[in-house]
Chains A and B, each alone.
Chain A
Amino acid sequence: MENYYQPDMERAPYEEMRALQDARLKENVRHAYNIPFYKDLLDRNGVKPEDIQSVDDLYKLPFITKDDLRDAYPYGLLGVQLSDAVRVQATSGTTGRRVVAFYTQADIDLWDECCARAIVAAGGTKDDIVHVCYGYGLFTGGPGLNGGSHRVGCLTLPMSSGNTERQIQFMTDLKSTILCCTPSYAAYLAESIHEAGLIDQISLKAGIFGAEAWSEEMRRDIESKLRIKAYDIYGLTEISGPGVSFECSEQTGMHINEDHFLAEIIDPQTGKQLPYGEKGELVFTCITKKAFPLLRYRTRDICVLTRDKCSCGRTLVKMSRLMGRTDDMLIIRGVNVFPSQIETVIISCGFEANYQIIVDRVNYTDSLDVHVEMTPDMFTDEVRGIEKKENEIVEKLRSMLGLTAKVTLVAPKSITRSEGKAVRIIDKRKI
């Protein structure tokens, strides 16, 4: 038995949805054109707002990328008067790559609704107790699911991340029924609950897990350990946050809330739109958000879109599990990491750019190992001196990324080079 939060939208016939999208797209392109950034971008590309009459015209709009957002930092893409904006969220991406997104109250409301749809699709009702251990703060995970849970009318536990013992205590004492966190933290919680022998005191029935890629195998493992059904959720701060798309009971991909976010798949090389079923880069256009209205934003995420009939009854277009990235960004424990950031730290500590980043997943938790080649200048006769330099890299990475890396100094020329270039990234995770 499938539940819907906004059945009119979630089950809208295709033609109705298209008509709504056409109208909203036209309106939001006109709205965006008031922002000097977009006026300049469209003018430069010879596109007038009137050229966009329907979703079919979407291809005429130029793309925008993360670099554009970075260049527009902080207020360059603000689409409303400052007095009408009520909230800021920011990406976990750090120095040089931080993106700050703005929201009006209406933008927050629609974001909350999107998350409410995800919670209801996972079986949530106002009788549920939703345990949110995504981080709260600038990260969108906590605030998004928190808002959605309120909308549904669930008792909401704003646990935020960390302090596993307290998480489990609240879970057993308050009888949480729906868990929201990253899949790796869910797996870790499951292990901890079993170790503490408390599995029979857990009342969870469902989990909504996102912010990092995970495998079907990992899903089944979490489901059997926590005795729940586990649902995927996708989103990005630039577009709103979690709830851009969400999974239904069929568990074969995520329905995109396309009454708010238009999705396209493009060939990352040519920029041409690809048909349903073909793998390519996911591009989003916000058609309702006002404070930060992104048009044709290239996510760099690779996946497939499908519009097949879903057993859940939703007509919303579906995106597959993420299949990779078009850039070298790594998502480690939910944090966006660019190798260039790690390189900056290594160089600022006095070493050369001969390094290797090794990412693995041990017991469902991502590990980050950084190997750095020793240089004659950095070598001293004392272990303490060298360890101090190693720790300096660890500390700088921690403060930049919020992640603890294992740094190992290795012999010069020991990092594999292919065609003279060091192989920088080894991602051993099987997703």
Chain B
Amino acid sequence: MIIKQLSIFVENKMGKLVDVVEALGKAGIDIRAQSIADTSDFGILRVIVTKPDEVASLLREQGYIVRLTDVLAVSMPDTPGSLAKVLRALSDENVDVEYTYAFVSHNKDKAYVVIRVENNEHALEVLANHGLLFADEEDIYK
């Protein structure tokens, strides 16, 4: 499925990351998944939260630069080789993966991964054709 991810610009300086995360905590927002891409001077904090539009407005009000990006959330059996199968299928069909990161899972048999690709619909089609499509919203936003 396609979900909305929040990307937040964070300076690569002591205390900047905790500031954002604290702001989310104070607003009672549960972070379902997160990752950071960083360089020596800045980072991009990517988070998956429930009600992404509301959280984006909240952060913007506090002066943060936030972008909403559609990403794929893919669920798979929590067994060795599952992620490899997904990525192999995408690679074989020439789908360029920008980045991936993992989700907190409440279901002990399932693993969830966020995947960023250029064309979400096409990637979903590829996964469906390979019989690799399982996720449902309930799991992700639980």
Chain A residues in contact with chain B, CB under 8 A?
Answer: 374-376, 379-383, 386-387, 408-414
A381 and B67 contact, CB distance less than 8 A? yes
Contact B65 A379 (CB under 8 A): yes
Q: What are 19 of the A-B contact pairs (CB < 8 Å)? A: A374-B9, A374-B65, A376-B60, A376-B65, A379-B7, A379-B65, A379-B67, A380-B67, A381-B7, A381-B67, A382-B44, A383-B39, A383-B44, A386-B42, A386-B44, A387-B39, A408-B41, A409-B41, A410-B42
Interface string of B93-117 (1 = CB under 8 A from A): 0000010000000000000000010
CA distance A409 to B7 in the complex (A): 16
Q: Is there a chain A Cβ closer than 8 Å to B63's Cβ?
A: yes
Known: A374-B9, A381-B7, A383-B39. A412 touches B65 (CB 8 A): yes
B133: shortest Cβ distance to chain A, in Å? 23
Q: Is the interface of A mostly helix, strand, loop or mixed?
A: loop
Pairwise interchain contact B67-A382, C-beta atoms closer than 8 A:
no
CB < 8 Å neighbour of A383 from B5, B37, B63: B37
State the Cβ distance, A358 to closest chain B Cβ, in Å.
13
Contact: B42 with A381, CB < 8 Å? Answer: no
A375 and B67 CA atoms in complex are apart in Å by 11
B16 adjacent to chain A (CB < 8 Å): yes
Beyond A383-B44, A386-B42, is A414–B11 a contact (Cβ under 8 Å)? yes
With contacts A381-B46, A386-B42 taken as known, whether A411 is within 8 angstroms of B98 at the C-beta atoms is no
Cα distance, A376 to B64, chains bound together (Å): 9
Alpha-carbon separation in the docked complex, A386 to B38 (Å)? 11
B69 on the A face (CB < 8 A): yes
Determine how close the nearest CB of chain A comes to the CB of B7; give it in whole angstroms: 4
Most buried by B among A381, A382, A411: A381
Cα of A109 to Cα of B60 in the assembled complex, Å = 65
| B42 adjacent to A382 (CB under 8 Å) | no
A408 to B64, CA, bound (A): 17
Of all chain A residues, the one with the shortest Cβ separation from B16 is: A411
- B72 in contact (CB, < 8 A): no
Judge whether B10 is part of the interface by a CB distance below 8 angstroms: yes
Do residues B42 and A374 form an inter-chain contact, with CB atoms below 8 A?
yes
Contact A411 B11 (CB under 8 A): yes
Q: Per a CB cutoff under 8 Å, which of B10, B37, B38, B63 touches A413?
A: B63
Where the two chains meet, the residues of B that have a C-beta atom closer than 8 Å to any C-beta of A are 5, 7, 9-11, 16, 37-39, 41-42, 44, 46, 60, 63-67, 69, 98, 116
In whole Å, how far is B56's beta carbon from the nearest beta carbon of chain A?
11
Complex contacts, A383 vs chain B, CB 8 Å? 37-39, 44
Q: Ordered nearest first, which 5 A-B pairs have the shortest CB separation?
A: A381-B7, A408-B41, A381-B69, A383-B37, A379-B65
Which residues from B are CB-within-8-Å of A411?
Answer: 9-11, 16, 63-65
> Is B9 a contact of A381 with CB atoms below 8 Å?
no
Q: Which residues of B contact A376 (CB under 8 A)?
A: 60, 65-67
Verify B10–A381 contact, CB threshold 8 A. no
Residues of A within 8 A of B69 (CB): 381
**In the assembled complex, how far is the CB of residue B57 from the closest CB belonging to chain A, in whole angstroms?**
13
Closest to A377 in B: B65
- Kindly provide the distance from the CB of B4 to the nearest chain A CB, expressed in whole angstroms: 11
Contacting B65 at CB < 8 Å: which of A375, A382, A387? A375
Collect the chain A residues with CB atoms within 8 Å of residue B64's CB.
411-412
Alpha-carbon distance A379/B5, docked complex (angstroms)? 14
6 A-B pairs besides A381-B5, A408-B42 with CB distance below 8 A are A374-B65, A379-B9, A381-B44, A381-B69, A383-B44, A409-B41
Smallest beta-carbon distance B55→chain A, Å: 16
Task: Determine the distance from Cα of A383 to Cα of B98 in the docked complex, in whole angstroms.
Answer: 10
Whose C-beta in chain B lies nearest to the C-beta of A409? B42
**Residues of B contacting A382 with CB < 8 Å?**
37, 44, 98
Q: How far is the CB of B107 from chain A (nearest CB, A)?
A: 28
Is there an interface contact between B65 and A381, defined as CB atoms closer than 8 Å? no
Q: Which residues of A contact B44 (CB under 8 A)?
A: 381-383, 386
Chain B residues with Cβ under 8 A from A413's Cβ? 63
- Rounded to whole angstroms, the CA-CA distance of A242 and B60 in the bound complex is 54
Q: How far, in whole Å, are A387 and B38 apart by their CA atoms in the complex?
A: 11
Q: Which residues of chain A come closer than 8 Å to B9, judged between CB atoms?
A: 374, 379, 409, 411
Cα(A410)–Cα(B66), bound, Å? 14
Cα-based distance from A408 to B40 in the complex (angstroms)? 9
Do the beta carbons of B7 and A410 come within 8 Å of each other?
no
- A244 to B10 CA separation, bound complex (whole angstroms): 50
Q: Which residue of B lies closest to A411 (CB)?
A: B11
Instruction: Give min CB distance, A33 to chain B, whole Å.
Output: 56
Which residues of the other chain, B, contact A408 by a CB distance below 8 angstroms?
41-42
Chain B residues near A386 (CB-CB < 8 A): 39, 42, 44
Give A376 to B46 CA distance when docked, in angstroms: 15
A132 to B7, CA, bound (A): 53
Residues of B contacting A387 with CB < 8 Å? 39
Nearest residue in B to A376 (C-beta to C-beta)?
A: B65
> Complex formed: what's the CA distance from A380 to B8 in Å?
9
